[in-house]
Structure 1
Amino acid sequence: MAHVSNHALNKVLLRTQGCQFAHNYERMQSLSLTYCFSPVLEELYKDRPKEERVTAMKRYLEYFNTHPLAIPFILGICAALEETTDEDHKDAVTGIKTSLMGPFAGLGDSMLNLTWYPIAGSIGASLCVSNGSLIGPLVMFLLINVLYWPLKYFGIHMGYTKGMELIEQGGVALIERLGNLANVLGVIVVGCLIPQTVKLTTGLQFAFSEGDPLVIQTQLDAVMPYMLPVILTLICYKLIKKGQGKNTAQVIIGIIVFALVFAAIGYYTGVSIFA
């Protein structure tokens, strides 16, 4: 059987950039996975009978769904297995591919979606909010891809050269542990972003016959600073979670209405929720 070249691996890497374009509810990423991996199959099976080429292609049309960042690493391992495994034992390729979906999905979601993406997004958003700069989205895009591309490049090449060695040495357990650690880090990072990105104060105060009025915001800051932003974030989180993300637009509109109504109340009665 032929040897997998770096050219084929790099073609797979480039094709994984569009791995989210062919989802279907029956087999999820199977179509895009087959398209991404076809350069390797074309090299390995170019001199083999048509039946074997068809069978090899069908192996990657099975159900598959994981984080896009993990696809190059998994396909690198599959390339090594396709190259070294006899045709009668190709079920091992499908087994390894299937067993790696879950751990890598959790790792990608926790380390990127819940950790790095919010960090990059908050930096870009802060540039837009502070001075109205349009460079914010570009900074976010660059920060994400500065991490994304190297991980995918080394993922496919390391998956091809050392992937099975890492798995045999307990790499799956390590991946799951890293995923749990990244989840904790993601929660900490998102929690730290709340005081910087969510601004909510109250102008409510009570006047007494003698002395200075009792300013509620001052009392809240003395007990627990940023209590109101945390409460507002928690309410939005609960509403979006209850609606499974389908009511995000309604939540945003609700916040705008909430701000306008209480700003009007503050203007006419002396009570202000937003300062």
Structure 2
Amino acid sequence: MTANVTTSKERTPPEFTHVPFRVARAAETAVQMGLVTLETDLTIETELRHFIGGAVGTDIGHGQPPTILHSRIACDDQVTVENLTAMKERFADALALFPPGYHFDVIGYGCTSASLLIGEDTVQAIVKSHVDVAHVTTPLTGARRALKAVGARNIGYLAPYISEISEKMCFLLEDDGFEIGAAATFGEGRDSIVGCIHPKSILDAIDAIISSATIPLDAIFISCTSLKCATIIAIAESKYGIPIISSNSAIAWDMARLARLAMSANEKGLLFQQD
């Protein structure tokens, strides 16, 4: 159907009443969260909503759900050390797409391996230099804190990455005091494919890690925000009785913790039952 558009000269417009409004005071606004996600990531935005779903502010925006704003950072689909570290020079463009002058309580940068290669402190400094934000975190930062929060020492490690990146990640975790009792990788170098790996394949990989572990495991860390883990975490935890921490559950938990949100733990994993 084609609309019959007439000009303003042919019709008399309605008389508009100007109605008053007020601007919310700082104490009335919700917690403001931001997420910088990769151009190629098909997963993190959906899973962040899952893990933070039901959360409300306890200090800022008391009783209100948080506001979450997203921006995307340009990246190459092929996951290599060179391509990941190249994102360091692309933060400014991604952060400039957030509303100007906006204050964030927390911003998460959604790439585990790039956080490792660029450096967590460097990521934090870059974000804070471009945006008014109180806290910055990454999936790697969140995972390191989460593994300590659940009391893990002996851990299993699952990633989709090429071996060079996986090895660097395991070395960092060992430097943190964790012992890697078993490790596995899908060996896929394209992020667009990683985001399509079936959750059942992730469950099967967890089974393989448990079976091959050289020591009893206290937890398993599944590294990469593109891996779809939200629907299988509770299933795997019920089967094996240990925390399963994914990159997305870790960054969501850490963002919520930093923003002092009261969280719902339903179907989100043992991590979200921590005080």
Question: What's the TM-score once normalised by structure 1's chain length?
Answer: 0.26
Looking at secondary structure, tell me which structure has more strand per residue.
2
Looking at secondary structure, tell me which structure has more helix per residue.
1
* Structure possessing the higher relative contact order (Cα contacts under 8 Å, 6 or more residues apart): 2
